Amino acid sequence: MNKPYNILLYYCYTPIADPEAFREEHHLLCLELNLLGRIIVSKEGLNGTVSGSAEDCATYMATMKADPRFAKIDFKVDASDIHAFAKLHVRTKAEIVHSGMLHIDPNQRTGQHLSPQEFKAMKDREDVVVLDVRSDYEYSVGRFKNAVTLDIGNFREFPEKVNELKEKYKDKKILTYCTGGIKCEKASAFLLEQGFENVYQLHGGIIKYGMEAGGEDFEGKCYVFDNRVAVDVNKVNPQVISECYVCGTKSDRMVNCANPVCNLHVPICEACGWGMDGACSPACKEHPEKRPYNGTGYYQKEMNGYNPLKGFNRPKKADVQV
């Protein structure tokens, strides 16, 4: 049976002359199509994750590709039983993914794109290093077998780690990967700028690799930025690599601590989830503000009077002459 909703993951590095004007127009388009999710607009392009009915998502993709600026967008499409978001946010920012590397334009120079099948064929060669450019909380729940990971809590810390990579891997072929491909665009370009000569990137990221190459040798789950939190990608040789924060048993069940003051985002197995009443520690279990635990470890953010038109500057009515 076909699932009624789609979840779209996409980005496009392309010049947008007036990001604020485009944001207004794009916000309206999403409202008209009943889409929910998060979209970032900047002078360098567009980055989004949205959900909606299959029909509305198809219309959205066709509308975007009809615009010459976004004709090259590669949409990663996943089916869903429900919306993956509760709200719609369309915002303007300096970058479509926060890196601090404002001088880099992936349209000018970036690592060579590899299809999932090409990545699969290269990743185990002796002259290759597979580099995860994501943050620690992302790769802790899932990563490629034998991948090099970086001790970073945010992508903007990536440039600080390049000297460490130079010492070990400068003469190797570097295959970068991330969730959907967007971080690799700037990470691979920065590596080239810093003197690495053979730099590649997994086109479409982990998500596309799962869809087109079966996800082989991706161990654990892929962290995603919607209500699903983490998704399966490996249909060939899956395994769990993350451990329960409380007892240390293998678990990829990502939860938020029931204590909102803590809100630690870690794997906690189902048994410990119930045993700790959703908390990550005895102190959090006894905290006076602890939220009721419903077995999921996911707590929907308060809507706080959410209005889908918030942030959308509707035209003012003309003054009425008396």
Please identify every residue annotated as catalytic.
178
What are the phi and psi torsion angles at 235 (to 5°)? -105, 0
Q: What is the three-class DSSP state of 188?
A: helix
State how beta strands 142-144 and 222-223 pair.
Answer: unpaired
Question: CB of 250 within 8 A of CB of 242?
Answer: yes
State how beta strands 128-132 and 173-177 pair.
Answer: parallel
Residue type, 200: Y
Q: What is the three-class DSSP state of 11?
A: strand
CA 66 to chain centre: 25
State how beta strands 5-13 and 45-53 pair.
Answer: antiparallel
Q: Which regions of the chain does DSSP assign to beta strands (E)? A: 5-13, 36-42, 45-53, 76-80, 88-92, 112-114, 128-132, 142-144, 173-177, 199-202, 218-220, 222-223, 230-231, 254-256, 265-267
Edge to edge, the sheet with strand 199-202 lists: 112-114, 199-202, 173-177, 128-132
What are the phi and psi torsion angles at 187 (to 5°)? -60, -45
CA atoms 224, 227, 229, 230: torsion sign? negative
Angle, alpha carbons 122-232-260 (nearest 5°): 125
